[in-house]
Chain A
């Protein structure tokens, strides 16, 4: 069975500060990993995905994530937060031969002026 755990249901940063959202996964097979973002009253949109091509994955809006197999982690980072980054962020996992994408509980990012 696969699962993801997102550490911290809420993260607050100041505008211009580093954003770090943590995700750990559990999978008995090589995983595919994703970060999605949900803005208020909208559906989820893909930020980036890991498919084993490269451990450091760059996404949209300046976000990136690094796959660390030894730590079973896929943390999301952005060097400098912008007010528009305030949203709910979801880490997700799936696998070859798997039929579904499993989502973490989400982390709400607050950005202070």
Chain B
């Protein structure tokens, strides 16, 4: 059983399209995150939800909209895709919202915008 699963693993699309990435965790964690990893491997947090409530919203364009229907799921919808959105998007979860909490990552979703 995969602890944090993301779908799809690969996504190739044209500029201007809208796409979604889904994430589910079966660890019973309260907090979920989206991180973006660029081509130089730099990891930047985008969003975080704790018990379905948004608690972190970094400087991310409005084209990105996260949705958490319940605490086991955190989806990411991206409108009007741009070339610069090409990256690997990682979902992660942790038991609580702060401190020494270890992040458990999914395998990533590689988005390529043409």
Contacts and interface: CB of A to CB of B under 8 A. Distances in A.
Contact of B90 (A41, A43, A100): A43
Nearest to B35: A103
Interface residue range, chain A = 20 to 34
A65 B72 CA distance: 33
A36 B101 CA distance: 13
Nearest to A34: B102
A32 B98 CA distance: 10
Interface string B88-114: 001010000111111101111000000
A55 interface: no
B98 A94 contact: yes
Interface of B: 4, 33, 40-45, 48, 55-56, 90, 92, 97-103, 105-108
Interface of A: 32, 34, 36, 38, 41-46, 49, 51, 88, 90, 94-103, 105-106, 108
